[in-house]
Amino acid sequence: MTLVEPDRRADRRPPQRGMVRPIRASDVPAVARLFLKVFRQADKPAGADLQHYLRTLLLASPSYSEAAGTQIYEQQDGRIRSALLAVPMRFVAYGNIVPGRLLGVFMTDAEREAAGAAQLILALRPKRADLAFCDSASPTSSHHLLAIGGKPITLQNLEWSRSFRPFGALAGRFDTRVLRGKVPNLPVLARPLDSLLRRLLPQRDIRDHGGLRVAEMPVPTFLVHAPRLIAHYAVRPLWAEEELFWLVSLAAQNTGLGAFTIRSVLDRGSAIIGCFVYYAAPGRTAHVLNILALPGREPAVLDAMFHHLDETGHVEARGRAQPALMAGLSLQRWLVFRHRAFALALTRVPEINDAIARGDIYIGGLAGEDWSRLLTDFH
């Protein structure tokens, strides 16, 4: 085999101009490889699992359209160096159905070109009566979205964390952040300390729940009641049965966070006043996706949820802050807030911007990105 010295002058040539266009099924292998390079520091072809997941996530939504879907930047030589992944989600705004899309992973091969990233961001500028939103933006992405007219959903930048067994929760964080998950059973070693703490400091915030009880909620029941429990928001996901079932099915695949679980909260007359969706992981952290409740019943639903998660052996629970939940969250002991990621929305519809300013919009959880395997999987 003859070895040929590469032409170093080629490395100094300016990048060829390309174009922004919707993703095609044939682009998935290249996009998957770009994802591994940017977020997993692995420059190699993606496996079948990641490619299948991306194909389903980006092209199989019941609300899919090219305009609301993922956009890529293709160079003139056909290479894909930048991509902005998006999931179409229809919304209801003041009674009208509005095309929406969840902006997810934004990636660019900074070693090769930067023009594509800029073109993808500029292409997001609102042009129609639609809604684009993101609840996982980095500081850099947040800055870019604000520059093109994005509106911050400030409170949802925060994550709440409620400890039930503080030493176990601390051990779990140490394993995740320092040991990189090498000792997943580390919280078990903290059980004696937590038992002693709970005897010294009884759970005084576990109050009478007014006859409320928590019960299993089958997916078909959730599909019926979830739209009802957010119907009081001026701007909210449509959550048509087919689309919500598709989202639930994808969220259930994220088994690394625990077992996908839905529980209803019922009053004395067995009427459903709320529900919560979470990844159950007894002995570890319960990751809460959604807390849905009838107006004014949020504190009671939160009390019932926290009591249930404590009783089922979780060391802590985590979820996103939302305006309607703040009154109930403020009543909890051993609960703290921290910055999670920036939440923003882009639209040209004045009424939607007004709702965003008032906090009268429902996003997050299944209407967000916290369920995506791209955040935690495919290492």
Q: What is the layout of strands, in order, in the sheet containing 235-237? A: 96-98, 91-93, 235-237
Contacts of 163 (CB under 8 A, 6+ apart): 169, 315, 316, 334, 335
Among 365, 366, 364, 350, CA closest to 94: 350
Phi–psi pair at 197, nearest 5 degrees: -60, -40
157 HSE (CA, 13 A, CB side): 13
pLDDT at 182: 64
pLDDT (0 to 100) of residue 113: 66
* Mean pLDDT value of segment 34-60: 96
Q: Is 71 left (phi over 0), alpha (psi -120 to 50) or beta?
A: beta
Which of 183-197, 248-262, 284-298 bottoms out in mean pLDDT, i.e. has the lowest? 183-197
Decide if pLDDT at 88 tops 80: yes
pLDDT digits (tens, 9 = 90+) for 269-328: 999 999 999 999 999 999 999 999 999 999 999 999 999 999 999 999 999 999 999 999
Residue 87 pLDDT > 70, yes or no?
yes
pLDDT category of residue 175 using cuts at 50, 70 and 90: low
pLDDT at residue 172, as a whole number: 74
345: phi then psi, degrees, rounded to nearest 5: -140, 150
The pLDDT of residue 361 is 97
Q: What torsion do the CA atoms of 172, 175, 180, 185 make, to the nearest 10 degrees? A: -80
Mean pLDDT (whole number) for 57-83: 94
Local confidence band at 127 (pLDDT 50, 70, 90 cut-offs): confident
What are the structural domains of the chain? 14-123 (3.40.630.30), 159-338 (3.40.630)
Chain mean pLDDT for the chain: 90
Q: What is the pTM of this model?
A: 0.90
What the block records as the tokens of 123 is 């292409």
Average confidence (pLDDT) over 132-151: 95
